[in-house]
Copies of this chain bind each other. A is one copy, B any other.
Amino acid sequence: MADTQQRNDLAAVSDLAAQLRVDSIRATSAAQSGHATSSLSAADVIAVLAARHLRYDWAAPDDPDNDHLIFSKGHASPLLYALFKAEGVISDEELTDTYRQVGSRLQGHPTPVLPWVEVATGSLGQGLPIGAGIAWVMRRLERRASHVWVLCGDGEFAEGSVWEAVAKAGELGLGNLTVIVDINRLGQSGSTALEWDVDAYARRVRGFDVDAVVVDGHDLGEIDAALTAARDSERATVVLARTIKGKGVPQVEDTNGWHGKPLPDDVAARAIDALGGVRDAVIDGLPPLRSSAEQPAGAADAPEFPHYAVGDEVATRTAFGEAVAALAALEDIAVVDGDVGNSTHAGLFASAAPDRFFEVGIAEQQLISTAVALDVRGYRAFAATFAAFFSRAYDFIRMAVISQCDLRLCGSHAGVEIGEDGPSQMALEDIAAMRALHGSTVLCPSDAVSAAALTREMVTVQGISYLRTTRGAYPVLYDEGTSFPIGGSKTVRAGADDQVTLAGTGVTVHTCLAAADELAKQGIGARVLDLYSIKPVDRAGVEAALHETDGRIVIVEDHRIEGGLGSAVLEALAGSQACADATLLAVHGMPGSATSLEQMSMAGIAVGDIVAAARGELTRAGRL
């Protein structure tokens, strides 16, 4: 790495650090908001990194050989944007005129609206898990020489997600990952638990078989040596940089009460002066290390999807697993599992494409982070666990939306239908939570044919798509080859004299069908709608059914009433005159252990409940 030494000497780096500090102050002062002091503490480590270690073609942010740089402490955005100016990719005007302003790319926390930002940060403790995921993907699938650099705050090292990532980094020996921790001792509301006890940090990190190097975070030589060693190490490295919050502005250095606040104008002006005034130097950094690795290709063989015959009893989770295993034929598909691959059946992918199957263990935050990392590296990722356990990573999924990721999530064992295992294993809030995500797609197939088809559809869906599968096996309802467009629905039973629509999703399509049978015996025609696409919901399909059944509908779901399928339908119909009477049947009470049928009965979503609800609507209408 001789060119490192020749590129920028430490005097030049010192000038760069001063420029980054001046620009961090100028940006936050101009915006009158933002995190100046959290930027100042990390300016020296970032200056050394950018000038002498980071290998990145700033003109080509999509170059697959670029190093990755993730600001896990996203609130240090002034420093990141100051760096972008120093790299010559944004102007001084953009930095000082637009930071935190309406319409600006330079938001309060970095997001991928900027081409040099790969993932959104700002919810702490997420950049490192994603960085570890990227290092894992590059090491396993691409064998590139490029490196992942993550800047963390010390406060976020209290997040468990950080330790999920450090554990992975140690277990996998991710030598292509370097984490720099800006240990400035002060959190938002006060001191961190460990303050400047850098040895305590080092003990923790080393316990996970990850290298820890302690440096004075304002000593450029020490930082430089640490980063050189980190890049060359066979193991992951955490550089513990002891820093001073507000470094360079004596009035605020190491002082509580300045988190997230711009400096007073006079303090800012004096500080800029003392730091040598405004500079506009541009870094002459290092180019990417070239490798012969190839980007993931698209199709290889044509996938051979599973076959199911009408009437076969197959769990939708099985169909998902078989479909995703078929998708292994596409070389850019990857699957992430959280030690439940034998239950979600995502594990079937492992035999088909072992290299592209990532087992994270029981660590759902790292599960999502690894899927995000795969997306960053150009793979199309599925991540699967019990539907209930995505709630463990809800913040990560929320942030993946802001990161503009395409993620395909499959949650099995949803609802009371799972039976004996009891409420801790039942997702009863997942539809509400997943629906609320911006731009998400929520799917819930009722049979194996639709489950396999929707799994296939998910490959090309943008944003977060979520497939909810059953534990139990139910009869195949659809002929092979039936198409299931996202946003559609299926009328699975209809007659000329239907008086009410029964709408279900997943398992409740089957209970609706049984209820329609029962109602038919009572001389009441009922139409059954399979709302396999919960978001977007098929408004036109529902309205058409309502038109045929005098505006009467019973909506049944194995989920809480709040924010679920019924809610989705009502939101879609808001303001419409199509609906004369609607009954929402959803899970009541707190389940315990019981068989699937007993559970659904106690929850109030069984066949008898649907029949009673339909009859209730007809009674209210004077039809009974």
Contact = CB atoms under 8 A, between A and B. Distances in A.
18 contacts: A102-B593, A108-B425, A109-B421, A158-B366, A159-B363, A160-B163, A160-B164, A171-B193, A188-B343, A189-B341, A193-B361, A364-B395, A436-B559, A535-B562, A562-B563, A574-B582, A575-B581, A575-B620
B567 A563 contact: yes
Contacts of A25: none
Contact of A582 (B100, B121, B394, B575): B575
A251 interface: no
Interface stretch (A5-13, A134-142, A198-206, A316-324): A198-206
A352 interface: no
A111 interface: yes
Nearest to A403: B424
Nearest to A124: B362
A539 interface: no
Most buried by B among A160, A395, A398: A160
A462 interface: no
A598 B204 CA distance: 45
Interface in A94-132: 100-104, 106-109, 111, 113, 120-125
Interface string A382-422: 00000011011011001101100000000000000000111
Most buried by B among A363, A562, A570, A590: A562
Given A107-B592, A574-B583, A395 B389 contact: yes
Nearest to A341: B189
Contact of A563 (B74, B423, B435): B435
Interface in A152-166: 155-156, 158-164
Contacts of A102: 592-595, 598, 602
Interface in A300-349: 337, 339-343, 347
Nearest to A113: B592
A163 B108 CA distance: 30
Most buried by B among A113, A389, A394: A394
Interface string A341-373: 111000100000000000111111110000000
A485 to B, nearest CB: 20
A418 to B, nearest CB: 9
Contacts of A571: 561-562, 566-567, 570, 584
Interface stretch (A426-434, A519-527, A542-550): A426-434
A165 B618 CA distance: 56
A190 B341 CA distance: 9
Interface residues of A, number: 115
A568 interface: yes
Contact of A437 (B33, B106, B422, B429): B429
A491 interface: no
Contacts of A207: 203-208
B158 A164 contact: yes
A31 interface: yes
A624 to B, nearest CB: 16
Interface of A: 31, 33-34, 74, 100-104, 106-109, 111, 113, 120-125, 155-156, 158-164, 167, 171, 187-190, 192-194, 200, 203-209, 337, 339-343, 347, 359-366, 388-389, 391-392, 394-395, 398-399, 401-402, 420-425, 428-429, 432-433, 435-439, 535, 559-564, 566-568, 570-571, 574-575, 581-584, 589-590, 592-595, 598, 602, 617, 620
A583 B593 contact: no
A339 B109 contact: no
A592 B189 contact: no
B425 A436 contact: no
A560 B440 CA distance: 12
A163 B160 CA distance: 6
Q: Which 8 residue pairs across A and B have the least CB separation, nearest first?
A: A160-B160, A207-B207, A563-B563, A122-B424, A163-B163, A102-B594, A429-B436, A432-B436
A398 B388 contact: yes
Given A401-B590, A574-B582, 17 more contacts: A31-B420, A100-B593, A101-B594, A102-B592, A102-B594, A107-B423, A108-B593, A109-B422, A158-B361, A187-B362, A189-B347, A192-B361, A402-B590, A438-B560, A574-B583, A574-B584, A575-B581
A109 B438 CA distance: 34
A420 B109 CA distance: 9
Contacts of A359: 189-190
A75 to B, nearest CB: 8
A201 to B, nearest CB: 9
Nearest to A620: B575
B209 A194 contact: no
B188 A340 contact: yes
Contact of A188 (B100, B188, B342): B342
Nearest to A613: B575
A548 B183 CA distance: 60
B423 A120 contact: yes
B389 A123 contact: yes
A301 to B, nearest CB: 26
B208 A107 contact: no
A363 B192 CA distance: 12
B563 A109 contact: no
A361 B424 CA distance: 27
B394 A362 contact: no
Nearest to A582: B574
A209 B203 CA distance: 8
A399 B420 contact: no
A561 B343 CA distance: 33
Most buried by B among A124, A424, A561: A424
